Amino acid sequence: METECFFGKTCKNIIDVLHFALDISVFRGYTKDMIKRRLSFSDKQNIAIQWSRELGITVSVANIIRLQRIYYGMLQRCYKPYILSYKYYGKKGISICDEWKNNRDTFCKWALTHGYTDTLTIDRIDVNGGYSPENCRWISAQEQTLNKCNTVRLTYRGTTKPLLTWCREMKLSYVKMYCRLRSGWSVERAFETK
């Protein structure tokens, strides 16, 4: 008995359905190898126990799940042209070091031993550099907004910081300072005029 699955494809049995589901997953950006590596919850529990012993820290299943999501997000941003954020990463030449690209566990272990918590996000120190141990750190989402390529940075009295940081430290209105600078004011005049 033949039944119509999705997109008009005919499936004769459950095996056809599974192969079709695999094809759709590949279409969505997952490689067949990535799908084979998907782990059951008990597998993740075993990994958490193993890594806890190996790294000398407490690792939860939630940590593993979130780190895998972050890892696959990096892969997609850097290597999948049909992903919307690809134009900001892969198209600009941002890549993942071979050490991480070829081994998800290496990335996860690095993260767990370099400041990862569930409240932090991965950040590239040099926004034009790739994802690698030397160029990545874990920071809050608020801090990360200050490390974007469109962040306005100013040098005042020999120190360069994002405009937002200057405004917070000096208790100035960000909008007022931004407008002054856009109007051609010097940094000194914008900051020192009341």
Q: CB within 8 A of 172, min separation 6: which ones?
A: 166, 191
Q: What is the pLDDT of residue 9?
A: 46
pLDDT tens track of the chain, all 194 residues? 444 444 444 444 444 444 444 444 444 445 545 545 566 777 778 888 887 888 888 888 888 889 989 999 999 999 999 999 999 999 999 999 999 999 998 999 999 999 999 999 999 998 889 999 999 999 988 788 777 777 788 899 999 988 888 998 999 998 999 899 999 999 999 999 98
The string of pLDDT tens digits covering residues 128-163 is 899 999 999 999 887 887 777 777 888 999 999 888
What's the distance, CA 117 to chain centroid?
14
pLDDT of residue 23: 44
Please give the pLDDT value at position 46. 81
3, with CB counted inside 10 A (0-12, 13-18, 19+), is exposed
Contact 138, 121 (CB under 8 A): yes
Cβ burial, residue 107 (10 Å; 0-12/13-18/19+): buried
**Residue 19: what pLDDT?**
45
